Amino acid sequence: MGKPTFYINGKFVDEREAQISVMDHGFLYGDGIFDAFRTYDGKIFQLDAHMDRLFDSARIIDLNIPLSKEEFKCIVMDTVRRSGYKDCYIRPQVTRGVGSLGHDPGTCKESSVIVYVTPTPVLKKERSLRTIISSYRRSPAFILPPESKITHYMNNILAKMEARKRGADDAILLDIRGFVSEGCAWNIFLVKNKTVATPSISSSILRGITRDVIIHLLKEMNISVEERDVTVSELFTADEIFGTGTGSGISPVIEINGREVGDSRPGPITDETDIKFKEFITKTGTSVFE
């Protein structure tokens, strides 16, 4: 039991009151940042890493967060507590705030701070993904910094729409150079001859919190992980491919552009990593209700 709970600019409000101005530059221009946290059984997964990324995103776009990290963390915990949900998504968002119609951020006096907590949707048991390689590319840092979570997801949305139109679940985007970058909202790992590779930060990826945990776990499992440029041919010849993200943890990729990956089933390293990841979740996390 619980209810969706919202914090907006200093107040906890219910859904009807959870509104921001149409003159907020977050709405007008996508001028803002966000992050996506998650709880498992009343514990927030990787809270500090998420808070760090949220504050880094703000620094990248030179956005003032009118709270310290500690204060923001307390608001996040309080919003979850008030919601009563043990398993939920937490969506903190900071926008440039209300300003005049032009996009000049100088007209915005105060940033808007929003935290939204909603129950985690029940995921399909079948998490395997059929994918396409999108014709859209991940934007390089000199166009839109891909390593920050800016409220400007049109790149990913267009790729997702393209995937759906072509009968797939999701899309893999390449970077501007044509190397593999990531999925619409997940990082990508491929396995070949028991070695794992994942695109590095220079392939326009979002540095996923789950990605960092998986790299750590693979090293603990004595599986070597290379962070490097990955080619499309490597995708087509991989033994296993999986995606990682807050939304669905580990998702096996079983098809790309109509071609089977491996034998079209989650492979042994994917399965083993999934088990280790679930163990890690139960052993870690910041308790909200104690």
Ligand X SMILES: Cc1ncc(COP(=O)(O)O)c(C=O)c1O
112 DSSP β-pair partners: 95
- Interface stretch with ligand X, choices 13-21, 85-93, 117-125, 183-191 (CB under 6 A): 183-191
The binder of ligand X chosen from 6, 211, 235, 241 (CB under 6 A): 211
3-state SS of 146-193 is CCCCECCCHHHHHHHHHHHHCCCCEEEEECCCCCEEEECCCEEEEEEC
What is the C-alpha separation between 182 and 177, in angstroms, rounded? 13
The binder of ligand X chosen from 162, 170, 182, 274 (CB under 6 A): 182
Q: Point out the residue whose Cβ comes nearest to ligand X.
A: 208
CB of 95 to ligand X, least distance (A): 18
- Interface stretch with ligand X, choices 61-69, 109-117, 120-128, 239-247 (CB under 6 A): 239-247
Q: In terms of DSSP bridges, do strands 195-199 and 225-228 run parallel, antiparallel, or are they unpaired?
A: parallel
The answer to whether 273 contacts ligand X (rule: CB under 6 A) is no
94 DSSP β-pair partners: 33, 113
Cα→Cα distances 176→72, 148, 155, 186, 208, Å: 35, 17, 13, 18, 19
The answer to whether 208 contacts ligand X (rule: CB under 6 A) is yes
The binder of ligand X chosen from 34, 85, 186, 242 (CB under 6 A): 186
The binder of ligand X chosen from 246, 251, 270, 273 (CB under 6 A): 246
Nearer to ligand X, 98 or 115 (CB): 115
The answer to whether 198 contacts ligand X (rule: CB under 6 A) is no
What is the C-alpha separation between 219 and 159, in angstroms, rounded? 32
The answer to whether 156 contacts ligand X (rule: CB under 6 A) is yes
The answer to whether 254 contacts ligand X (rule: CB under 6 A) is no
The answer to whether 187 contacts ligand X (rule: CB under 6 A) is yes
- Interface stretch with ligand X, choices 118-126, 201-209, 228-236, 273-281 (CB under 6 A): 201-209
SS3 call for 77: helix
Nearer to ligand X, 43 or 211 (CB): 211
The answer to whether 95 contacts ligand X (rule: CB under 6 A) is no
- ∠ Cα 231 277 118 (to 5°): 100
Write b or e for each residue in 121-144: b if 16 or more Cβ atoms lie within 10 A of its Cβ, otherwise e.
eeeeeebbbbbbbbebbbbbeeeb
Residues of this chain that interact with ligand X (CB under 6 A) are 36, 156, 182, 185-187, 206, 208-211, 244-246
